[in-house]
Amino acid sequence: MLVSATAYAQDASESLDVLERSKARGKLVACADPYDFPYAARNANPPGFDVDILRELAKLGGMELEMHWADTGTRGGMSRALRNSMMKGKCDIFAGVADNGDDDILMGQLMFTDPYLGTGYILVVQNKASGMKTIEELSAANIRIGVQMSTPIDALLHDKGIARELYPDNARVMRGMANGEVDAAIVWSTVLTNAKRKYPDATFEMAEGYVPVEGQHWDLKYLVRKRDMSMLQFVNEGVKQLLDNGKIKEIVESYGVPFYPPFSS
């Protein structure tokens, strides 16, 4: 039986031990963006690797997973999504947040868990760039690299004097590859999954063994409320177990996303 958001918020305010309450209800209530596949997607099968990982976390506590969706793509972005979800007691954990060192997102009331996944930019190649594994190899072969303009990777290539082809966003970078405009690109690690779904006949692949360089990778973490120390401990212990036994790696790679252990570990 579903509990209304109002009743859930009231329940949350009356109990400081959110983990104890969650186990009593048999539900771990989590938030994620509903339009962010392969991280998470509402009414999708598969539902996204964040949802699958959260489900495994819930199992460790003898709970089922219940999702509450919070759109981070509207005006106000992540901050508004957090205010309308975590801060109102609609969920107890928010998934898929990159820790870029900006603590403003925490609003003085939230805190990061330990990281559960590393993410960043990857090198994608095809045709005459196939088999190449580094930016330097591509530059030596005079192969232009498609990138999203005004991003950290755009700045890196510019500073190194490496020829690049600029696009407004990562989706158009991959469309450019599918159309043969470029034979190499550097995009966010999850972009390749969506591109392969959209262009099933394309031959592009991630460069074998490529690992994002320093300054081009980040860790994904969960957010919990500062007062919920029992939930923080539960999540941190669960993440460690799922990293150690390879379950997170298995889930992430099942979506065609490269798995990187947390870079800060």
Q: What is the pLDDT of residues 31-89, one digit of tens each?
A: 999 999 999 999 999 999 999 999 999 999 999 999 999 999 999 999 999 999 999 99
Domain borders along the chain are 5-118+219-254, 120-206
pTM here is: 0.89
Those residues whose C-beta lies under 8 Å from the C-beta of residue 111, and which sit 6 or more positions away, are 223, 224, 225, 226, 232
**210-259: pLDDT as tens digits:** 999 888 899 999 999 999 999 999 999 999 999 999 999 999 999 999 99
Distance CA 141, CA 260 (A): 28
Say yes or no: do domains 5-118+219-254 and 120-206 share a fold.
Answer: yes
User: Rounded distance, CA 120 to CA 214, Å?
Assistant: 10
Sorting pLDDT into bands at 50, 70 and 90, what band is 6? very low
Report how far apart, in Å, the C-alpha atoms of 243 and of each of 117, 204, 239 are.
9, 29, 6
Q: Which amino acid is at 232?
A: L
User: What's the CATH number for 5-118+219-254?
Assistant: 3.40.190.10
The CATH class of 120-206 is: alpha beta
Q: Confidence class of residue 16 from pLDDT cuts 50, 70 and 90?
A: low
